[in-house]
Structure 1
């Protein structure tokens, strides 16, 4: 048996090593083995039911959970809980053990058991800590997530609203936690397809966040995230003008916080392009894709499938733009009675349509490389439709494309069987 000071020194050194292994090197196995050595020392010197042993057991259990060894994780976490219940009673450390067990249930998809553990932890911490304490608010969120994962959205909203009422009473409306809770409730409303209500709450969250940001009390990136959620719901609503305005706000924040050439900025340009396409604003979509391509080329290179996909999407739009110009010119010539010139322009537009079929085929191949068979089939179908329209079913290229399309469908069915 070690002397007290010697034991403390050895344990502290081992705990320092554990921290390095887990958080600096990302080596959970070494971290766990180091903690197991600590546990042996503590058990020998302090006994099996000491509160220090309980703490180490909880740490080991949480690592085992992250390693996917749930049975061993539960064994360690339940031992930790038993010691704490016996030695400490209704204490924050006891609540921590309940919470860790809840997280383990959650990882296994056992959301009802997880909710019960989080509720027990929450009940204990609410007896000890104020309602706006980060440990209390975190447990409310865990409970709401467990309910949401079970599809119990209304119950999850009720949990958030209990927390919201407590925070409002303590801090009033203009507080970061209030903005965060409005956003959480909005996401649950979205899952219930209550899109108008969700947007209203996100607007309240944005109003609070913007005001706090102006006085330096809110993270600009978080504000950008709220705008992004709003834009996605506006997309879903079909409010495309509103979505365009909101995506542009997201873009401004992304450029300000992470820079013009960041992957997140590229994602926003891509989202903007899609909204422009739905509004038939071809020039805006081409411009957005061009900026996204510039970023992706620097980040991923020309040969990456994401870069290739963006380039092909832009090429499709460029062909579409030129095809429309030729068609409109052809109609104008037809109106003026110059049928020969009109026919020439319509034929040129038709040739561009054939080029679009080839681009769709290349895009389908990229989607296959990305493992996105549903999208690959959709783009292949577009190519086949154009080929049939312009060349006919008996054309050799059409027949080859038909066989390729059937192969994709067969592959999808095999994957699903």
Structure 2
């Protein structure tokens, strides 16, 4: 495996050609749509400038050595765009000749993509076919990630085959071994193989070395072990080839005039540059020799990088600043003065722990001549990549023990890996002691710096600044000495600084010493700093438009540390919404669950007293997450807590209260209590009517919801009345051709179908379809929903072949929009199964229901009404096939789920009791059948009342069971009840 880390198309082409092509190319980044190029993948050139790469450009770069599989891991690379309905980036690459292409259909989070990709490559490595790998990966991550709308798979006509021969012995994981080398003619040790990372810093350095910025010299600085020399080595590597070749001269540590002259003479002699040799042999001063070289040889004849490594050995400390030693000033000063004379053809590069001062003619030369790159410890993605490349810790069973001492410092991480390499020599206790000693040894270097620092105030500043666990801008330090001490901390490498872009810097206390310094504060000081940190995050978040989830997480952390529950709720709610937007439902729920534990009844009472809407909004957001994941019972509990606060904050007639009533109604309906749901919808409606009057679009929403609830209760006439009210309002508010009007038509159509009027239903569904086609075009989920509804109506008319045609249209759209593993796709499979059953094709039908069930089990993890529906549908087919025992097995699976999801007296639970009873009767066990019919009757009488078709049908089942049992008198009694119920 090879990692190409420039992020450029040119870098990808070079890596692909150098490796003679690869089975898989995996491109990670951002994607989008360009009005001229169509779908694009956003790459960069080697200095960080944005480069929008089209499918044509990518194909031109890799077509001579194309991979078998291309994974475009960027948002919507497998999705459609309004401007180009069927031509996603992945689709175009498959058209051009890539055998198999994977892309994401929607926005995908970095965390979510990693989880899916890890599972896919694990499956491919053991010989799974790609389609199987995708399916297994989806199943494997269902507890951690909700991936069904995202991953898309495109291919040409090539049969799908494993990339790895199945059955091969699994090899141990071997991270890239760290291999160091010495830069030419020097003792400077840099990485030859292993993770360097720091892409932005590499781009900044290349900008200097390519003459793209005003300075032609470069200062790379940062704490010990941070990777300064390795970064310079990476930069030098880019100029090792003929196209951009630059020669290299390296000076390590303490420099002298004699050594500098000797190394320059060696370079000039090796290059046989007579002009330069003459300059060095001349009688002019050392200073003039250096300046002459830069103004002529290094400008026009030999492109050269002159590198001073570990330059801190040439510095003296005075107070809290570093100065070039007197004996070194005249050696290095000519390089800084003259570097710009070479006009970018040659450069001076210095790596040093500390910035330094060298004044000449009133000018501080390092500040004006050197572009400053300050390195930080690894964090986030770079840290994870570095850790994965630590060979021995990666293989250790005790990796967690080593990671306790991880601070993101590359050298310390490599030292820890060295201890892991020799683990067999020690027991765990000894290893733990070695780790502590190694960390203490590393920390001691910093403590020595602190000890020499003048001023207790500065030392206290470092302790307080350690409150921040993530880099923040300088305003975060203002109230406790930021302006006075922050730059000093950076200069002394006790604080790390990163240049984000355009001079925007972020800072944090060097992670190596953060915990050690933080523990020096008193308890009351720790509390005060958490309080201050929360205030800073809260203020920062309030001023930005988009969410920064790390800042939101930190705000929640600091709020909880000081018991600021309203503050934690405010930001946890935004975090929940953030993860909901990127389809990480369970992660958002888990984060909010940590906060909700702190929202006690006392906190709710206080929120009522203080009229605190943040806690109310948080509880509502948490409830919505529960509802989305199918936990309607618990959702109702938290919606009601939110409502109780809102009643105090806003009063009973506020629109927010109406929203809460509606939310509770929706959850009640999902749990099967449609009667109570209607009560809440009507409360919400009353508030909306008072606020807006009858003819407002918001009022139409509540009429619509009430209509759907009546439909669930088996009262389609009632439902039609409410849907028609909703339709009248929407038609007047929006005009006839609005998607919301189409929704009302669809709902009226469903109600007519329930009334046994499928022809009427088709008329309304076709009206809906016409509007949606005009609004959205053919490839839209709402169009597919209309097709499915029309198909159901044709099914009711006894035209299953016609029904199947519409369901297949819906299925094609859903697959293209969502991919194979989506709940909407499962609905279409179920509908096709029902139509095939009507055609007398039970075996073919069961195949479609099983496809639906597989998707639903993956999407919902089993405990969901849709899963119960599929189990029930399969049970019905086994019934048609005359296998009552199999039918009962599937009905009971459905029943287990429904009892978990719904209230005990849900109509669907009653229907399953009835279905099981019928099968027991067919098996000759009428006593068992009657027991199930009695359970059904209790529920249906409460839901429907005595006079209802379902009650009549149930009484007929009773009559049949009693007749089978030889109890004719009882049978006649129930037959009479059935007749009365029909009337």
Would you call these one fold, judging by a TM-score over 0.5?
A: yes
CA contact (8 A) 2:833 2:847 kept: no
Instruction: State how 1:112-191 maps to structure 2 within 5 Å.
Output: 113-114=637-638, 116-127=640-651, 131=654, 133=655, 135-148=656-669, 153-191=674-712
Superposed displacement of residue 59, structure 1: 5.4
1:269 maps to which of 787, 796, 799: 787
Distance 2:688 2:827 in 1: 46
Name the CA shift for 1:86/1:277 in 2 (closer, same or farther; >3 Å).
closer
Alignment deviations for residues 14-64 of structure 1 (CA, whole Å, 9 cap, x no partner): 789996565xxxxxxxx4xx44433455678xx544964563466578878
CA contact (8 A) 1:35 1:56 kept: yes
Alignment deviations for residues 126-170 of structure 1 (CA, whole Å, 9 cap, x no partner): 33x973x4x333222123335545655444433333332333233
Q: Confirm or deny that 1:236 pairs with 2:777.
A: no
CA contact (8 A) 2:801 2:835 kept: no
- State the superposition RMSD in angstroms: 5.0
Distance 2:891 2:653 in 1: 55
**Secondary structure, in 3 states, of the residue corresponding to 2:708?**
helix
Q: Confirm or deny that 1:109 pairs with 2:636.
A: no
**Secondary structure, in 3 states, of the residue corresponding to 1:174?**
coil
Instruction: State how 1:161-310 maps to structure 2 within 5 Å.
Output: 161-214=682-735, 220-280=738-798, 285=803, 288=806, 291-292=809-810, 295=813
Alignment deviations for residues 304-332 of structure 1 (CA, whole Å, 9 cap, x no partner): 99899699889979xx9xxxxxxxxxxxx
Name the CA shift for 1:121/1:187 in 2 (closer, same or farther; >3 Å).
farther
Distance 2:639 2:818 in 1: 42
Instruction: State how 1:16-165 maps to structure 2 within 5 Å.
Output: 20=547, 31=550, 34-39=551-556, 48-49=563-564, 52=567, 55-56=570-571, 66-68=588-590, 72-78=594-600, 82=603, 85=606, 89-97=610-618, 99=620, 107=631, 109-110=633-634, 113-114=637-638, 116-127=640-651, 131=654, 133=655, 135-148=656-669, 153-165=674-686
CA contact (8 A) 1:85 1:94 kept: no
Structure 2 gap segments, 5+ residues each: 1-463, 465-476, 483-532, 580-585, 854-869, 897-983
Higher strand share: 2
**Secondary structure, in 3 states, of the residue corresponding to 2:694?**
coil
Q: Which structure has the greater CA radius of gyration?
A: 2
Distance 1:52 1:16 in 2: 16
Q: Confirm or deny that 1:3 pairs with 2:478.
A: yes
1:361 maps to which of 843, 846, 852: 843
TM-score by length of 2: 0.29
Superposed displacement of residue 78, structure 1: 4.0
Name the CA shift for 1:415/1:378 in 2 (closer, same or farther; >3 Å).
closer
Distance 1:308 1:53 in 2: 42
Name the CA shift for 1:246/1:9 in 2 (closer, same or farther; >3 Å).
same
Pairs aligned (count): 339
Name the CA shift for 1:114/1:380 in 2 (closer, same or farther; >3 Å).
closer
Name the CA shift for 1:171/1:282 in 2 (closer, same or farther; >3 Å).
same
Name the CA shift for 1:375/1:191 in 2 (closer, same or farther; >3 Å).
closer
Structure 1 gap segments, 5+ residues each: 23-30, 321-355, 386-404
Q: Which has the higher contact order (CA 8 A, sep 6+)?
A: 2
2:115 — aligned with what? none
Name the CA shift for 1:110/1:412 in 2 (closer, same or farther; >3 Å).
closer
**Secondary structure, in 3 states, of the residue corresponding to 1:370?**
helix
Superposed displacement of residue 366, structure 1: 3.6
Instruction: State how 1:324-339 maps to structure 2 within 5 Å.
Output: none
**Secondary structure, in 3 states, of the residue corresponding to 1:224?**
helix
CA contact (8 A) 1:175 1:212 kept: yes
Name the CA shift for 1:3/1:57 in 2 (closer, same or farther; >3 Å).
farther
Name the CA shift for 1:413/1:176 in 2 (closer, same or farther; >3 Å).
closer
Distance 2:774 2:745 in 1: 14
Superposed displacement of residue 123, structure 1: 0.8
**Secondary structure, in 3 states, of the residue corresponding to 1:3?**
helix
